[in-house]
Amino acid sequence: MRASTRLASLLLAAAAVLPALAQTPPGTTHPWQAAPPRLTAEAYFTNLKDGDRIETPYLLKFGLSGGWGLAPIAQPGRAKSGHHHLLVNRDLPLNFKEALPFNDQYIHFGKGQMETVLTLEPGTYTLRMLLADQNHLPHFVYSKPATITVTKKNPTDPKTLSVKGVALQLEGPVVKRPFRVQFHASSLNVAHQSQRLPETGHFRLTISPASGAPVVMDFVEGQTEVWLSPPAGSYGLKLELLDNIAPGKALTDAVSASVRVE
């Protein structure tokens, strides 16, 4: 009788815990997450802007806003997903129902890459980012054109510029709410966790206040940025890229930063 009573108590306790766990599954929006100031989504350059003068080889990095995520072409992604394309001296396509071509002016990043090394010869170029689905059909998610000038091409080996790792970018050490945290992966591929593709990962951001429990956010749908609006105070941020096949396994070392929110 006692054993039955004890078993019933354990089952009741487990039932009480399960709803609490279900309320915060990976990918759920946390109260500290804020809507982006701009409602439209955009694929963009994180380290290049219109009018820049650069030398090549140049490591060019990509971002993606509006809650969209990266999904390699090997498996279909969910809604609001795609892979990056770099357009060189090309306007946006006139027909968004036609697949993008494969050539030197339409460079595809179908594995979930977030960067490429430019090896352009000296001259003036117009570059633009465009997101497309696994069939290379464009989404209405793209960047403004950036006209740049390559002033010099150096003998640097392009392969040495991309070093395996992750990075996070903030507006500064002191920010006002809401503020953006941008994620980046070098020599690593980002994907939806549900795609279960080998050698891909998704970002996890841990936010540690000066006092209180840390907040963990898993971006399982390939997102590469987040807007935050936590209470005013000081926080430590830790960014990881977790394996989409082996739960909890990091694909590279984590990076950390500190920020004060006013």
pLDDT tens column, 45-86: 999 999 999 999 999 999 999 999 999 999 888 779 999 999
- What pLDDT sits at residue 250? 98
Provide the β-strand partners of residue 123: 150
- Is the bond preceding residue 178 a cis peptide, omega within 30 degrees? yes
Indicate the SS3 state at residue 227. strand
d(CA 194, CA 71): 10
Which of 262, 48, 244, 216 shows the shortest CA–CA distance to 144?
A: 48
pTM recorded for the entire structure? 0.88
Environment class of residue 139 by beta-carbon count within 10 Å: exposed (0-12), middle (13-18) or buried (19+)?
middle
| All residues at 6 or more sequence positions from 176 whose CB lies less than 8 Å from its CB, including other chains | 261, 262
* Residue 16 pLDDT greater than 60, yes or no: no
pLDDT for residue 13 = 43
Instruction: Note whether 48 and 55 are within 8 A (CB).
Output: no
The confidence band for 190, taking pLDDT boundaries of 50, 70 and 90, is: very high
Confidence category of residue 27, pLDDT binned at 50, 70, 90: low
Give tens-digit pLDDT for 88-133. Answer: 999 999 999 999 999 999 999 999 999 999 999 999 999 999 999 9
Instruction: Supply angle C-alpha 255, 258, 262, rounded to 5.
Output: 145
C-alpha–C-alpha distance, residues 103 and 106, integer Å: 5
